[in-house]
Structure formats: structure tokens, C-alpha cells
């Protein structure tokens, strides 16, 4: 994934919380 896309997702995490943040980490961790 691109850094820009991650940045957009991080902005959403600020609203939804850490549940989606953990989901992103699960995707980035293997990379």
C-alpha cells in the first residue's frame, strides 16, 4: 500500500478508533 493511502486511513482511524487501526497493522505487519 502507498503511504498516501495509509495516511487517509489513519485520518479515518481518528474518528472510528483503534479497531480499524489494528486492522491496518495486520495488513502492514506482513509487509
Q: Helix %, strand %, coil % for the chain, to 5?
A: 80, 0, 20
Quick one: pLDDT at residue 31? 66
Structural domain count, the chain? 1
pLDDT of residue 1: 57
Model pTM greater than 0.75?
A: no
State which residues form the domain around 17. Answer: 1-31
Query: pLDDT tens, position by position, for the chain (31 residues)?
Result: 588 888 887 787 777 767 777 887 888 877 6
Amino acid at each position: 500500500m502507498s503511504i498516501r493511502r495509509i495516511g487517509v486511513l489513519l485520518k479515518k482511524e481518528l474518528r472510528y478508533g483503534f479497531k480499524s487501526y489494528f486492522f491496518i497493522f495486520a495488513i502492514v505487519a506482513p509487509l
